[in-house]
Structure 1
């Protein structure tokens, strides 16, 4: 089995003089949930359209399930489920009729997959209700159901929680986690709002103005955003000894410039400074540091993460 479901190499899409994507090298590992984040217009949807064959690159290559030959890529796209932009739903049809229509169009064998997929997304009790009368959350679920027809190995979802109320966001997140956990489906999900992704994604890609700025795991992101107390004292070695002896902690590091980063006792900074001063140390700098997830992304893209 190939380690990567999707890889791109120097993938570029140019419209006249405007680059929608600029030499993007993106990698999505098998079994992961890849959160693709960037502001509106950053290039998220463009990349997804190139991968799904809805648009064609100006230059660069795409590798899908280990295949880079165009004919093999077309064949491997049948192993994908896609929900990009507005879902292609028939408003005058029921949920079951919508899925049956899509099943026939795509040549998915076996009618039993319709009922099974409706149950999976929680729409099995909608009966004769027409899609035009569905709530936005129900339409998003139906769009996901269309993408799930044929039991795909790889889901590509563009802003699937757009317009949902808080409960709808939670339900969608739990459903995607279930698909990933129980069925091993790899998911590439885009959003310009970090709060939709930070409880879901196992890997992240940050894109801004067509350029992929960074790819990292959730563990790497948490490490980069780790909170700590920044301490600069007149005697770093003695300060370290005081932390170990008086506060019974080894959760700190002494940097080459003598600055200490203390990762424990974050909720009790006063007790830390009191212990250091009582140990005969002069504190030149003492302040909480570190970023939360929102501010980290905002700093990388040079603006508000919700922009």
Structure 2
């Protein structure tokens, strides 16, 4: 999966957040989107995901040179971000089983193996609403990492993670670099220092 953005621009009210971004994201590479607060990092990621529209410009998705209808891009991607909602009345196995009715599990993992990889065995019978913020973030990341996906979009991925959680994140995400297109919106270098390409949104400010 490759993603091509052409003259991508976003305006809120009368202010341009960013203008005329041209960039090609290619599978097997990892990209960071950086810039100061308010520069539009999360906004750009949401436009790429198809969650919100651009003010002008285009996003083209290609799989093996075949153009993918934007309406179906959700089938090729997974996300983890601060605004992702979890069903808090579910227990962990219930939530995972629900999620994987829509997404295929990567690597033929079982639900039990995923719980082990998340280091959440001791909390598997709790409702998600009783998880700490760090546990919820690890779960969000796990849903992205352990789903079969061509594209992974991460916004501030270590939010609420302690040092051990951050180490876990880096260990899991770097396993996916070879065959997956990964795009990370962040201001924390530790979250993206393994990425081989960068978009600095200061270069696209009006």
Aligned to 1:171: 168
Cα distance in 2 for residues equivalent to 1:41 and 1:98:
33
Aligned to 2:204: 211
Aligned to 2:131: 134
Deviation at 1:62, TM superposition (A): 0.5
Alignment CA distance shift 1:60-1:99 (3 Å): same
Cα distance in 2 for residues equivalent to 1:100 and 1:17:
44
- Larger relative contact order (C-alpha < 8 A, sep ≥ 6)? 2
1:110-162 Cα deviation digits (max 9, x unpaired): 89764454444444553202222323332112112333464011100100112
Aligned to 2:196: 202
The answer to whether the Cα contact below 8 Å between 1:8 and 1:63 also exists between their aligned partners in 2 is: yes
RMSD: 2.7
TM-score (norm 2): 0.83
Task: Mark the runs of 5 or more structure 1 residues left unpaired by the alignment.
Answer: 213-307
Aligned to 2:44: 47
What aligned pairs does 1:179-190 form with structure 2 within 5 A after superposition? 179-181=176-178, 184-190=179-185
Q: Whose Rg is larger?
A: 1
The answer to whether the Cα contact below 8 Å between 1:37 and 1:207 also exists between their aligned partners in 2 is: yes
Deviation at 1:47, TM superposition (A): 0.9
What aligned pairs does 1:24-35 form with structure 2 within 5 A after superposition? 24-35=21-32
Alignment CA distance shift 1:77-1:149 (3 Å): same
1:162-203 Cα deviation digits (max 9, x unpaired): 23222222221111001224xx222111111224322x2122
The answer to whether the Cα contact below 8 Å between 2:7 and 2:19 also exists between their aligned partners in 1 is: yes
Cα distance in 1 for residues equivalent to 2:146 and 2:132:
21
Cα distance in 2 for residues equivalent to 1:109 and 1:9:
31
The answer to whether the Cα contact below 8 Å between 1:35 and 1:205 also exists between their aligned partners in 2 is: yes
Aligned to 1:20: 17
